Structure 1
Amino acid sequence: MWKFKHLPDIVVITTLALVVGIGAGFGAILTEGLVELVHHIFFETKLWGLLDGMGIYHLMIIPALGALLFAPIIIHFARDARGHGVSEVLEAVSVHGGRIPPRVGVVKSIASGLCIGSGGSVGLEGPIAQIGSALGSTVGQIFTLTEDRIRLLLACGAGAGISATFHAPITGTIFALELILGHVEARYFSAVVISAVVADTIAQLHRASCFVAPPYTLVSVWELYFYAILGVFAALGALTFTKVLFKMEELWSKVPVSDYIRPALGALVLGVIAIILFQFDGFQVNDFPRLFGIGYETISDALNGSLPLQVIFALFLIKIFTTSLTLGSGGSGGTFTPSLFMGAMLGGTFGIIIHGWFPGITAEPGAYALAGMAAFLGAAAHAPFTAIIVAFEITHNFYIILPIMLATVISTLVAQSLSPTSMYTLKLVKRGIKIRRGAPEHATDVMETTTVGEAMSTEVETVPLTMPLFHLMEKFDQSHRHGFPVVDETGELAGVVSIKDLDAAIAGGQLSGRTVAEIATTDLLVAYPYEPMGAALQRLGVREISRLPVVKEEGSRQLVGILLRTDIIKGYNEALAKRSQKK
């Protein structure tokens, strides 16, 4: 291994990119196979006949059963496997030096297979991209490569995952460079291309292309005005989806139920919607709800102009809600394909209306569905290059390049002017994580690349809510500390108490019979192990405090450490020393 690492850089990177591409290709086949197997067991055999007597209500029971299976797997083995995957990959690139725990890829594959196979309204590309990223990161860690090389192999894995999912190696390459790395450089481009091409070659052994569309053309130059208007609508639709997705995650995090149960509740709601829609014509394909699963057939129907206006518009609105519901309640799957789905439905709706008004100068509605796919994805992901390429590569339709480029660029510009964050970065920015962009040698604030978990103190002295104030006074005298986290009878964080709080109580007079619960601050600011120190430092400045309790994750009260100003200074110095050693 030592000899291999010291071979010429191009040999090392090319060889490992080839390995990552092979792994991502087979990973995509295994994950897709798991989805098909779960779908077969649940929907085709009705759980080996056990659900035969349930009638239409199996559409509600099956998603809930799938959620009950994947929820404990995520909770016990890899919480990073929850959600759509790309945000977690960006966090690894921006904060963790490209390092992703190897188990994440395995857990993501199983959880997503169960979620999508049982009807979750999400895509497969995000999970496969995260699986490929975890593989690339693991390979880099095994060979103890530098952080820059690990990030590159992570990007190779992400691009290979997208390539294998859609049989689109160019899209996979641009996705990795535009979204994951945020820059283009010849040596990185070559490595990502190798991984993407190899992964796609292997994945084609499993299935053919997902979509088929007629060879649409630009009927009239006047159509360009309509495509420009479509770009604006796509931007507004994409912004709506991003906001609904984030709000849904916030809403479900506040639902007072166990993490084991929350995804099942979301799945039950999804099932109820499916049962209602199943009563109407056009909302099912092959006796399967169009809103369940990935939705390749429905996208193809939109591209071929075979969906009526009321169905295609309703599917656009419903998909925004159901994808947000699945992910917000704790499901596992991607948002890339759902964005293509929503864009195709929105574009198809627009096309039906415009073609009805101006049949002589406009193409068939399917052409607008194709442009809508690209425009919606470009606006939602802030990735116009990826969106433009994917529209051509997955449909093999290169005849309306100008309309697609125009609609996508306009949608992306409108979306970026209205919101600086995308569906992949909004959650990270809200947590204070600065997305890494630019070439690896570009300097990055060490406060944004060092996490709270790396700097915090894990040995935490706490006091119970029931502690008498006289005992608290003694504890302050003995420890010489200025504050303590306060825990309840279950050991979970309930508040903090400072020496200033105690001084105020003493100044007020009566201490006898009073407890910590009466003076503790319960309106807490907390930190999380995975967020950058810069975000925690800003939070300390909000109330001019000197410590932040660190809890396991958002919505949790499980105390895992405490972050003091001295910890931040120590972490900052260690990060500077580490950067100096690398240089």
Structure 2
Amino acid sequence: MPVRRPLGDWLRERGSGLMFLALVIGAGAGLGAIAFRWLIKWATLVLSGHADYSATPGAGHPWLPGWGSWFLLLAPVVAGLVYGPLVQRFASEARGHGVPEVMYAVSERGGRIKPQVSLVKTLASALCIGGGGSVGREGPIVQIGSALGSTFGQWVKLPERRLRVLVACGAAGGIAATFNAPLAGPFFAMELILQSFTIESFGAVVLASVMASVVGRAVMGNEAFLSLPAFHLHSPAEFGLFAVLGVLIGASGVLFSKVLYLVEDVCDWLWRGPEWLRPAVGGLLLGGLLLVLPQMYGVGYPVLADAITGNYAIGFLLLLMVGKMIATSLTIGIGGSGGVFAPSLFVGAMGGTAFGLAAHALLPGIVASPGAYGLIGMGAAFAGAARAPITGVIVLFEITDQYSVILPMMLAVVVATLVSRTLSKSTVYTTKLRRRGIDLEASHLRGSLPDSTVASVMEELPRTLPADTRLREAADTLAASGHDVLPVVDSSGQYQGCVTARAVAEELGKNERVSDTVGQLAELPDTVSSETKLVDALEVLVGAEGSGVPVLTADETELVGWIRHQTLLSSMRTAAHAS
């Protein structure tokens, strides 16, 4: 009779167990997204008197007759007085835009997130957005879903490898349900949260996304997230304009990230009081901005839709674009809780539509739909800020249901991503972690490698080959050495490069005249010195012809050792056991 495995072992060890957990987390993330949107609606209704104040900017609060729009000065303050102490007391991770904290938890903490983060983030972000905070819903819902996945995974004692996947499942489910975007959820999770791709993890996040979408659609319907008129390309010549748009809006996405952290630095420098009071006091500044530009209240999707459908002039579009950068940065800087994905879409929509209107005025025979440029600008701005081109293309297609602009969207997003890489090392998400001294890109590449130099692990230098060594003799030396590559030196002992056994064998096997000495076959691999970090040495080894490379002194003038793939693997195993 087959041995029955305990339920816990099945969940922890079997692929089918992980898929079951993904479905559970997807359903939970879907319910969380529904609850979160409901809380935002009611918080907005209580604090502004409207279900979405940005749909009627400048209106008065119906519960406060005679106040007019002056209630906007106090709405962020009241919200801050509630969520500020809540965040400070129970989960400081709930402050800010959320996604960096999830990325850090997956990369550096094995997917472990405090259980209370889900509840605190839900309440804090709903109050912040409902009180006029000019932030998005995606950061909070990613953190909420991820915390749910982490909590459940820790409860069933999943190993870290699978716990990370379950965190990504929560993120994917949250995105899928809140935006009705079942395709965007998995790619967001893979591209930004896990930053890797395996069949098992992709299958799990897809199942979570599907389940969350089913739950979300059962309650919120199956309409596209943004209802926009159909856009079509008028001329193939527009592709050149879309490339220019990618450059400009990609740079705007980078600018948005820079402004965000600049304003946050200024707020940190100015504030000297207790952190729990910071959102309320800073709320006075935010309220003052809302009095001047009430379109910045909350997420602002109605304003975004009005812009793309052509209801605003170029000057006002640019004002809204700059205003959103400042309003979002101020909301985060004063300690607010919310995402930056929706604001980046807003920035792109304003800038893109302004570009489209200008292009239409100059080239009316080529540009027929200025709104299409706003739609494509949304994806380009997100690509410039977050450097996630796949997610940018897919999520914009899903939330707008505009397949007709998919080709120019792909072009603009790729151009914007390249511009972003040129202008900045970090994204709007990774900058927050880099400022704490955490480099996720290096950490992901390093894996389990210790953060030390080659000098700590290098081996003794194998026998060198003089440059004038005959090929037959070199072949014998290589065979006896146990290495498939050896360093080559000249008559004075100066390093000339390396020669591989394969290169020697190929030359000896040719029918035509062969090279006489190894000096003619020597190639210079990328340099590794004794001071090189192990993670950088790994990159050199991956691109090297043989299984090892020589190690030079720090001034790269003298051979001092040798490093092999096996050496780094041993270092990784040692580090893993030590941890």
Match of 1:382 in 2: 387
CA distance in 2, matches of 1:438, 1:426: 14
Note the 1:430-469 alignment, pairs <5 A. 430-435=435-440, 443-446=447-450
Instruction: Identify the match of residue 39 of structure 2 among 34, 38, 41.
Output: 34
8 Å contact kept, 2:250–2:385: yes
3-state secondary structure, aligned to 2:275? coil
CA distance in 2, matches of 1:384, 1:311: 28
Note if 1:104 corresponds to 2:113: no
User: Any unmatched runs of 5+ in structure 1?
Assistant: 278-288, 449-574
CA distance in 2, matches of 1:20, 1:26: 10
Deviations 1:356-386 (A, max 9, x none): 1111111311100011000000110010000
Match of 2:433 in 1: 428
8 Å contact kept, 1:135–1:157: yes
Match of 1:233 in 2: 248
- RMSD over aligned CA atoms reads 2.4
Match of 2:345 in 1: 340
CA distance in 1, matches of 2:376, 2:416: 11
Match of 1:330 in 2: 335
Match of 1:5 in 2: 9
Aligned partner letter, 2:394:
I
Note the 1:350-499 alignment, pairs <5 A. 350-435=355-440, 443-446=447-450
- The answer to which of 304-313 and 352-361 deviates more is 304-313
**1:576 shift after superposition:** 7.2
**1:434 shift after superposition:** 2.2
Note the 1:264-275 alignment, pairs <5 A. 264-275=280-291
- What TM-score, normalized to structure 1? 0.73
Aligned partner letter, 2:275:
D
8 Å contact kept, 2:49–2:63: no
CA distance in 2, matches of 1:400, 1:55: 42
8 Å contact kept, 1:210–1:296: no
Match of 2:576 in 1: 579
8 Å contact kept, 1:211–1:299: no
8 Å contact kept, 1:93–1:99: yes
8 Å contact kept, 1:90–1:180: yes
Mark the structure with the bigger radius of gyration.
2
Cα distance change of structure 1 residues 210 and 267 upon mapping to structure 2, 3 Å threshold: farther
8 Å contact kept, 2:107–2:443: no
Cα distance change of structure 1 residues 413 and 385 upon mapping to structure 2, 3 Å threshold: same
Instruction: Identify the match of residue 25 of structure 2 among 20, 26, 29.
Output: 20
CA distance in 2, matches of 1:406, 1:339: 18
Count of aligned pairs: 445
- What TM-score, normalized to structure 2? 0.73
Note the 1:511-530 alignment, pairs <5 A. none
Note if 1:162 corresponds to 2:175: yes
CA distance in 2, matches of 1:234, 1:39: 31
Match of 1:316 in 2: 321
CA distance in 2, matches of 1:52, 1:259: 33
Cα distance change of structure 1 residues 202 and 232 upon mapping to structure 2, 3 Å threshold: same
Q: Indicate the percent of aligned positions where both proteins have the same amino acid.
A: 43
Note if 1:250 corresponds to 2:255: no
Match of 2:518 in 1: none
Note if 1:301 corresponds to 2:317: no
CA distance in 2, matches of 1:55, 1:304: 28
Moved over 4 A (4+): 45-50, 436-440, 575-578
8 Å contact kept, 1:83–1:327: yes
CA distance in 2, matches of 1:375, 1:345: 12
Cα distance change of structure 1 residues 149 and 446 upon mapping to structure 2, 3 Å threshold: farther
Note if 1:178 corresponds to 2:194: no
Cα distance change of structure 1 residues 437 and 386 upon mapping to structure 2, 3 Å threshold: farther
Match of 2:502 in 1: none
- The answer to which of 49-58 and 267-276 deviates more is 49-58
CA distance in 1, matches of 2:348, 2:243: 14
CA distance in 1, matches of 2:239, 2:321: 23
8 Å contact kept, 2:449–2:575: no
Note if 1:192 corresponds to 2:208: no
Deviations 1:449-503 (A, max 9, x none): xxxxxxxxxxxxxxxxxxxxxxxxxxxxxxxxxxxxxxxxxxxxxxxxxxxxxxx
**1:99 shift after superposition:** 0.4
Instruction: Identify the match of residue 221 of structure 1 among 236, 240, 264.
Output: 236
Deviations 1:331-358 (A, max 9, x none): 0000011111111111011011001111
CA distance in 2, matches of 1:407, 1:80: 34
3-state secondary structure, aligned to 1:239? helix
**1:213 shift after superposition:** 1.9
3-state secondary structure, aligned to 1:115? helix
Aligned partner letter, 1:56:
S
CA distance in 2, matches of 1:205, 1:307: 35
Cα distance change of structure 1 residues 238 and 365 upon mapping to structure 2, 3 Å threshold: same
- The answer to which of 416-425 and 39-48 deviates more is 39-48
3-state secondary structure, aligned to 2:576? helix
Deviations 1:188-209 (A, max 9, x none): 1110011111111211234343
**1:160 shift after superposition:** 0.9
**1:390 shift after superposition:** 1.1
CA distance in 2, matches of 1:439, 1:420: 15
Note if 1:91 corresponds to 2:104: yes
Cα distance change of structure 1 residues 50 and 167 upon mapping to structure 2, 3 Å threshold: closer
Instruction: Identify the match of residue 201 of structure 1 among 194, 201, 214.
Output: 214
Note if 1:260 corresponds to 2:276: yes
3-state secondary structure, aligned to 1:236? helix
CA distance in 1, matches of 2:228, 2:354: 17
Aligned partner letter, 2:287:
G
User: Any unmatched runs of 5+ in structure 2?
Assistant: 51-58, 453-571
**1:48 shift after superposition:** 9.8
Match of 2:161 in 1: 148
CA distance in 1, matches of 2:244, 2:372: 14
CA distance in 2, matches of 1:258, 1:224: 52
Cα distance change of structure 1 residues 437 and 80 upon mapping to structure 2, 3 Å threshold: same
Note if 1:56 corresponds to 2:72: no
CA distance in 2, matches of 1:274, 1:79: 26
